[in-house]
Structure 1
Amino acid sequence: MKAPLPSTGPSFLRTQRKPLVLIPACNRMLGYHPFFVAGQKYVDAARLAGAIALVVPSVPIEEIDALLDMADGILLTGSPSNVHPSHFGETVHDESLPLDPVRDGWTLPLIPRALSRGIPLFAICRGFQEANVALGGSLHQAVQEVPGQNDHRGRTDGTAEIQYDFAHEVEVIPGGALDAILDQRIFRVNSVHGQGVNRLAPGLRVEARAPDGLIEAFSLPGDTFNLCVQWHPEWQAAQNPISTKLFQAFGAACQAYHDRRRQPAPDR
């Protein structure tokens, strides 16, 4: 007689040693059919953080809390698509650029719910922009057209190595979460984004800026790990000491959250 297979439900996931990090997928048409997609580099980065990566398709809003019941961390990815400007009270500036309203429809409500639970959150590029919008901020739809701002878009005339090569420095603001993780005030990053923070959401703290003053990182101050960055630390993260520190800090926070959830309830 064969032994019964173990359960694969939420209680089973909570008993595993590694934390479970949810990675919301993007939505893409491949041929005539819709697909859920996520870049392999984000899964690899979650594994570098010591976590089990779970790519999640779009879910109805009423299922978000059930999903968060399983989560020990959230990794919001970059994407070719932009956050729809209707979420911060504007119309589309450039209709040739891709949008992903399905992703907007559930990641924007996901973000404040995750933060309210104390679930560690690491948001990258589009995820950085999503977090600002979800918490009440707004975006420049075309940073390169804003007076005084540089062109932060990546090159499209070469390989991924060229596109994700270092583009400019960022300066870390002293005394914040990023400063505590890195203990390094200036370092170089890649830059492949057209949108950027215009109005920072209330309560958020600037963690780093680009040479032109554009916000490159922010966090929501408190006891919960959360960090949102405009650049792409997941690109070749294992070969980049800055990226490695960021994902190790995220992974440690996810592990701590996971371990707290496994602790037995106190006696009454």
Structure 2
Amino acid sequence: MKMPPCMVWLPADHRLLGDHGHQMPFLLLGDKYARAVKVGVEAQPVMFPLADVGDIPELLSMVDGVMLTGSPSNVHPSHFDEEVADPSLPLDPVRDTLTLALIKACVHEGVPLLGICRGFQEINVALGGTLHQRVHEVPGRMDHREPKTAPFEEQYAPRHPIHLAPGSVFETWAGGPQVMVNSLHGQGIHRLADGLEPMAQAPDGQIEAVAVRGARTFAYAVQFHPEWRCWENPFYSAIFAAFGHACRQRRSLRLQAADLARHRPG
């Protein structure tokens, strides 16, 4: 019998779209993230529109991994006891409510978890850390933002090296202690959550990758964007391949548990 596909949950962004003074709410998922799951993870990306915190246990039982995507919106700073520094930047409190709870559930239940950019920041905040709202204004830090008017190929081009934790899986995936990555973020980790371990740093000391301490399965996050044409970059491809391996292991365990439940007497 053909094995059912791995399914990876990608929570949606919530945004108002429209013109001429008429806007309506939309649930959005960037193609590049779904495509990275389909191609790089070899899994089926899925969305659960209008899912809320109470739905998390049931929905997690149906999937083999969770990927938290990047987004134009930022994590609301009230989640780390700060006021909004720049009211012009978009926020997404509905996504915050779901993902901050979803992260804790993934860690507790041993569901493979990959965070990218906003997702990286969400994981830090969910586990008790804080963020710099304007990394470029922090003394000694670089401007990690992309040239927004440039073509996408330039925005997502390698911008700076990151130094990888010795002996880490990131060093293995990169094939060495240092690798070039893109850089498209205005916010970043300030105080690292106690439950996270730094896996990579930019030359200015900004944390670029983390691991969840004591995780039972794949539980990593990156500040850069490996989803961008991941199949063209060996380092990015390795991240998604490892995530896919963990998702397939989860699928096997999930199917075994379902089979046992079907054949249990009474």
Q: TM-score, normalised by structure 1?
A: 0.91
Give CA-to-partner distance per residue, 1:20-64, whole Å, 9 cap, x none: 100011011111110000100111100121101102334221111
Report the counterpart of residue 47 of structure 1 in structure 2. Answer: 38
Q: Is the 8 A contact 1:58 1:106 kept in 2?
A: no
Amino acid aligned to 2:237: T
1:16, distance to aligned residue in structure 2 (A): 4.6
1:232, distance to aligned residue in structure 2 (A): 0.2
Alpha-carbon distance between aligned partners in 1 of 2:139 and 2:251, rounded to the nearest angstrom: 45
What is the identity percentage for the equivalent residue pairs of Structure 1 and Structure 2? 48
Q: Secondary structure at the match of 1:259?
A: helix
Give CA-to-partner distance per residue, 1:144-189, whole Å, 9 cap, x none: 0001111001101211111111110001011233234433211111
Q: Secondary structure at the match of 1:194?
A: coil
Report the counterpart of residue 251 of structure 1 in structure 2. Answer: 244
Q: Is the 8 A contact 1:24 1:58 kept in 2?
A: no
- Alignment counterpart, residue 17 of structure 2, candidates 4, 15, 30: 30
Alpha-carbon distance between aligned partners in 2 of 1:27 and 1:39, rounded to the nearest angstrom: 12
Q: TM-score, normalised by structure 2?
A: 0.92
Report the counterpart of residue 231 of structure 1 in structure 2. Answer: 224
Alpha-carbon distance between aligned partners in 2 of 1:102 and 1:230, rounded to the nearest angstrom: 22
Query: Structure 1: where are the runs of 5+ without partners?
Result: 1-14
Report the counterpart of residue 4 of structure 2 in structure 1. Answer: 17
Alpha-carbon distance between aligned partners in 1 of 2:82 and 2:48, rounded to the nearest angstrom: 29
Alpha-carbon distance between aligned partners in 1 of 2:9 and 2:185, rounded to the nearest angstrom: 23
Alpha-carbon distance between aligned partners in 2 of 1:237 and 1:84, rounded to the nearest angstrom: 29
Q: Is the 8 A contact 1:216 1:230 kept in 2?
A: yes
- Alignment counterpart, residue 233 of structure 2, candidates 222, 237, 240: 240
Alpha-carbon distance between aligned partners in 2 of 1:70 and 1:16, rounded to the nearest angstrom: 15
User: Within the alignment, does 1:265 sit opposite 2:256 as a pair?
Assistant: no
Give CA-to-partner distance per residue, 1:185-225, whole Å, 9 cap, x none: 11111101000000011121100000000000001133311
State how 1:92-103 maps to structure 2 within 5 Å: 92-103=84-95
- Alignment counterpart, residue 58 of structure 2, candidates 60, 66, 71: 66
Alpha-carbon distance between aligned partners in 1 of 2:42 and 2:115, rounded to the nearest angstrom: 17
Alpha-carbon distance between aligned partners in 2 of 1:162 and 1:55, rounded to the nearest angstrom: 30
- Alignment counterpart, residue 218 of structure 1, candidates 207, 210, 217: 210
Alpha-carbon distance between aligned partners in 1 of 2:171 and 2:4, rounded to the nearest angstrom: 29
Q: Secondary structure at the match of 2:90?
A: coil
Report the counterpart of residue 164 of structure 1 in structure 2. Answer: 156
Alpha-carbon distance between aligned partners in 2 of 1:232 and 1:56, rounded to the nearest angstrom: 23
- Alignment counterpart, residue 174 of structure 1, candidates 166, 184, 190: 166
Alpha-carbon distance between aligned partners in 1 of 2:107 and 2:140, rounded to the nearest angstrom: 33
Amino acid aligned to 2:34: V
1:265, distance to aligned residue in structure 2 (A): 3.5
Query: Structure 2: where are the runs of 5+ without partners?
Result: none
Q: Is the 8 A contact 2:173 2:235 kept in 1?
A: no
User: Within the alignment, does 1:119 sit opposite 2:114 as a pair?
Assistant: no
- Alignment counterpart, residue 175 of structure 2, candidates 160, 183, 192: 183
Alpha-carbon distance between aligned partners in 1 of 2:101 and 2:151, rounded to the nearest angstrom: 35
- Alignment counterpart, residue 131 of structure 1, candidates 123, 132, 140: 123
Structure 1 stretch displaced more, 155-164 or 75-84: 155-164
Alpha-carbon distance between aligned partners in 1 of 2:166 and 2:50, rounded to the nearest angstrom: 37
Report the counterpart of residue 192 of structure 2 in structure 1. Answer: 200
